[in-house]
Amino acid sequence: MQKISSVLLKRSANTTFRTHSSFQYANLVVEKNTKKQRLPSDPEKLGFGRYFSNHMIDVDWDAKEGWFAPHIKPFQNFSIHPAAKVLHYAQTIFEGLKAYHGVDGKIRVFRPELNMERMRRTARRATLPDFNTREALLLIDELIRIDADMVPKTDKASLYIRPMLFATDQHLGIGESMQAKWACFTAITGSYFNYDRGIRLLADPEMVRSWKGGVGQYKMGCNYAPTIFVGKLVSRIMAAMQGCDQAMWLSGEDRLVTEAGAMNLFMLWTNEENELELITPPTDSGLLLPGITRQSVVELAREWDLMKVSETNFTMDQLVRAVQEQRVHEFFVSGTAANVGPVSEILYCDKERGVKENLVIPTMSSKMQLVKRLNKTLSDIHYGRIEKKEWQRIVELN
C-alpha cells in the first residue's frame, strides 16, 4: 500500500530540478508555540471544530521544486495570494480523523492510513500533488505528540485531526496548479450530535449531492459547498421539530438511497427474502464517499456474523414498503465526526410522485441494539478498552 518515496528528476529548458515525490518527515522543522490555550473545562461544551490546538503542519509544493521541508509551527492564519486557485476554483481537498486518549494513558489514532490513502486518491482526481502515506503519518504523529496535552482525557471528547491540501497558484487560468500547500491542524472536539432523540432525515429527490461522472466519491471541497444551502432549507422545513436534522440524499429515477448529510448510512432490516440484513449502499457507483467508519462498521458486522451484511443499493420504494411492513429495525448514519448515529424518522417528500410521508423508524427501541453495540465497540477501540492493533495507531510519547 505504501509507495516508497523516490527521487524524481525533471528536466526543464535550462536547468535540472530534483523533486522528491513526497515531503519527508526527516526534513521537519519545528517552531514551538509559547502561548497557552484556554479551553472550556466541560467537554460537552466543546462542540465540533471550534477550539484549535497550538500547532499546525504546513508544507509547500511547487511543480518545479517539488515538496519543500515540512514545518510544524504555531497555529496561525495562512497568507494566501488573492489569485490562489483554492479561492476561485475550489481546488481543495481534506480529511477528518481522530486521536483518542486511552484508558491506559496511550494516545491512539483510528486507522489513519485509510484516510491518507483516500486523501491521495482524492488528490489525483483534484489534480493536486501526491505524497507518501508513511511520511504524512509520521508528521501527524509528531503534531499530536507536540500537542499531546490537548487530547482530552475523557471518553466524551477527542482530538479531531484535519489534514488538507489546496492549490496556491498565483494565476487565474483554470488549469493545473503549479503550487500547493499540504497542512494539518487539530481541534479539541466533543460530540457532533446529541443522540438522545435520534436524527431526523429529510429525503427529497430534488436535493442532489452527486451524480454519475462527478466527484461524489472523493473528499473534495466542491462536494460540500452546494449542500450548505440544502442544509439550511432542511433546518427551515423541519424548524417545528428540534434536533440535528440532515438531508438524506437520493439518486436518480430509482430514488436510490445514498448518503445523509456528510455521512454514510446503514439499515438493519428483514429484507424481501425474509433474511435479517445490514445493508449499506455500495461505493462502486461513484455516488458516495467511501467512509472509514462505514468500512469499519461493515468489517465489524461481518466479524460478528449475526446477520447478512450487504453493500447493495436499495431504493426509497423498498424503504417505504419495509417501514409499512415493520421490517425496518434500525437505521443509522456513520462518520468520523458523528461516529454511529441513530435515525428515528425520515420525512420523504417527492413532488414528482406526489408523495409526502413521514417514516418512523424504531431504531431507539430496537431489541437488537446494533447502533448501541457498534458505538460501544468503536468507542472501546478508540479509547483502548479493547485491543484491535491494526485499527489503533499508537502515538509514542516522549
Chain positions contacting its own copies, by CB under 8 A: 47-50, 52, 56, 75-83, 86-92, 94, 124-127, 160, 162, 164, 166, 171-177, 183, 185, 187, 205-208, 211-215, 220-229, 231-232, 261-262
Instruction: Classify residue 291 by its DSSP letter.
Output: -
- Per DSSP, the three-state class of 387 is coil
Comparison of 17 and 89: residue with beta carbon closer to its own copies:
89
Which helix (H) or strand (E) element contains residue 48? none
**Integer Cα distance of 138 and 118 in angstroms:** 17
What is the smallest separation between the CB atom of 261 and its own copies, expressed in angstroms?
Answer: 8
What is the smallest separation between the CB atom of 65 and its own copies, expressed in angstroms?
Answer: 19
What is the smallest separation between the CB atom of 321 and its own copies, expressed in angstroms?
Answer: 25
Of the candidates 173, 181, 100, 133, the residue with the CA atom closest to the CA atom of residue 379: 100
What is the smallest separation between the CB atom of 309 and its own copies, expressed in angstroms?
Answer: 29
Comparison of 3 and 88: residue with beta carbon closer to its own copies:
88
What is the smallest separation between the CB atom of 126 and its own copies, expressed in angstroms?
Answer: 6
Strands (E), 229-307: 246-251, 256-260, 264-270, 276-280
What residues contact residue 336 under an 8 Å CB cut-off, 6+ apart?
96, 97, 98, 110, 160, 291, 292, 293
Comparison of 5 and 246: residue with beta carbon closer to its own copies:
246
Instruction: Classify residue 4 by its DSSP letter.
Output: P
**Integer Cα distance of 60 and 178 in angstroms:** 11
Of the candidates 21, 24, 27, the residue with the CA atom closest to the CA atom of residue 8: 21
**Integer Cα distance of 223 and 206 in angstroms:** 16
The total of other beta-carbon atoms located within 10 Å of residue 49's CB is 15
For the chain, the maximum distance between any two Cα atoms, rounded to a whole number of angstroms, is 73
Comparison of 5 and 210: residue with beta carbon closer to its own copies:
210
Comparison of 229 and 303: residue with beta carbon closer to its own copies:
229
What is the smallest separation between the CB atom of 158 and its own copies, expressed in angstroms?
Answer: 14
What is the smallest separation between the CB atom of 333 and its own copies, expressed in angstroms?
Answer: 14
Cα-trace Rg, the chain: 22
What is the smallest separation between the CB atom of 253 and its own copies, expressed in angstroms?
Answer: 11
**495507531: which residue's cell?**
393
Comparison of 172 and 397: residue with beta carbon closer to its own copies:
172
Comparison of 221 and 290: residue with beta carbon closer to its own copies:
221
Comparison of 211 and 365: residue with beta carbon closer to its own copies:
211
User: What are 262's three cell numbers?
Assistant: 456528510
- 133 by Cβ neighbours in 10 Å (0-12 / 13-18 / 19+) ranks as buried
